[in-house]
Structure 1
Amino acid sequence: MATLLRKIGLIRLHDRDTEDPKHHQGSLKGSKGSQKSNKHCQTANESNILSTPEIKARKLDQNVKDKEKASKDASKEKQQHQHQTGGGGGGGGGGNKSTGASSIPAPAPHRQHCTQVRTRRLMKELQEIRRLGDHFITVELVEDNLYDWNVKLHQVDKDSALWQDMKETSTEFILLNVTFPDNFPFSPPFMRVLTPRLENGYVLDGGAICMELLTPRGWSSAYTVEAVMRQFAASLVKGQGRICRKAGKSKKAFSRKEAEATFKSLVKTHEKYGWVSPPVSDG
């Protein structure tokens, strides 16, 4: 009996050892084929998902981020190269870092947009002023600079003492200089009197003009140069402005540096105490 069992066991071992190995390989190939098939299906499904607008947008966003990162990496490498070739120490490295920070191209489109807005606005205002039929003001560009105007104020209230002064001194106009900042019309222009030398009328040292609407607090982008000049003409009369006739002082010209310092000081004062004049009893 034992001999019979041993013979049966040997037969089974022989069958297992002599079994066709191609059968196992085929089954393994089938398994791999199944895996490949599954992988192909996953790729197809993923492709279908990526074809949707949302995923395309994500891919585009990721591409932009990758490009920005590559640009930053290139900028860093350039700074490191400049630092190494420059031979500078710690201070030199700090200088390169500062230069890299100041050369970031992001603000450029914003500055370009501001320049376009300022240019369009001033061109439009020039055309409107030239259409005026009352000859209230005329404009000349300083050295053909669109952002630097010399404005001639030809008229003030004809019942005022200032108008009488202009007639007696043969003064045909009051000349003002108006410069426009980069972010005009969202910030006010700087305006000052050039000639003649005026007294009172809210005209201060250097030809600075005390008007709230010329400050960031009082300015509105809706104000035009013509409207500002009309307000200035009214304030001259209201403040009892006169042409200075004092010997020596009348010939002293206003200066821009003095006007800027005076205007800065008066704005600081009015921001502290307000733009309403205190009663005379308060000093």
Structure 2
Amino acid sequence: MSVALIIPTRNAGAHLERLLPALARQTLQPDEFLVVDSSSRDDSVARLRGAGARVEVIEPSQFNHGGTRRWASQQVAADVLIYLTQDAIPATPDTFARIVGALHGEPDIGVAYGRQLPHADAGLLGAQARRFNYPPVSRTKRLVDAGELGIKTCFSSDSFSVYRRDALEAVGGFPEDVIGSEDAYVAARMLLSGYAVRYAADAEVHHSHDYRLLEEFRRYFDIGVFYGRERWIGEAFGAASGEGLRYVKAELQAVLAAGALWRVPEVLLRTAAKLLGYRIGQGERYLDVGLKRRLSMFPGYWK
């Protein structure tokens, strides 16, 4: 079994002080280490090459969350593909070994994703988002679980995940052109094709974001665009509304538990921004391209 590590980067310098030592400490070292860099303006390329990575530089306009990962998978020969983002820092020396072990724990697993812990400086809501989506208990998800889990069945995250190449190719690989959520796309295809998705809670990285209100709106606009275009996912696994309500309740409980009652209006305002962004994103076909660029967190997608 051969393993490739693939990391898309752009101006990653702020993260490399933590990322490169964490990669060097891994007990499982990849046979191939590929970085696809979107023309960084800092010293990312030189530092990553110095750490032993093969770095392929592309124009920022060429980057696509699905298409770039698809292209990267075709540049390596390994049987197992670990995908990591530049701001996801392996938490232990066994992080890679554990995620690869999880991938091979059951014969039908096609993709496994690890647990994301909040960064040490994460805010209350940023940390709560990690706790909600990445619990301490591992689970294997199959199509039969859709009645229980709904849209969460195909939840996965390419911030830290690992794919069996044969399973990835069997479902057509990453989509060529998506605004994001390529991980959910592939997981859904795998589940519908009889593969399982594994959540490996013992394979941990530090990865979190403290989004501002407008960023929340833009992020959910993009999510709405994705699910509006890929309606087959909702038809197969159900709508996201029930999961969204559960998330809001968990946020409110976290705010109250922290004694931050004054943040309840903020939670409600953020929820309204997310819902509005999502709804507008689903109807994006009626909007001017220039407006979509201004609404999106990924304006380069709108060519």
User: Which of the two has greater strand per residue?
Assistant: 2
- TM-score over 0.5 for the alignment? no
| TM-score, normalised relative to structure 1 | 0.24
Q: TM-score, normalised by structure 2?
A: 0.22
User: Which protein is bigger by CA-based radius of gyration?
Assistant: 1
Which is helix-richer, 1 or 2?
1
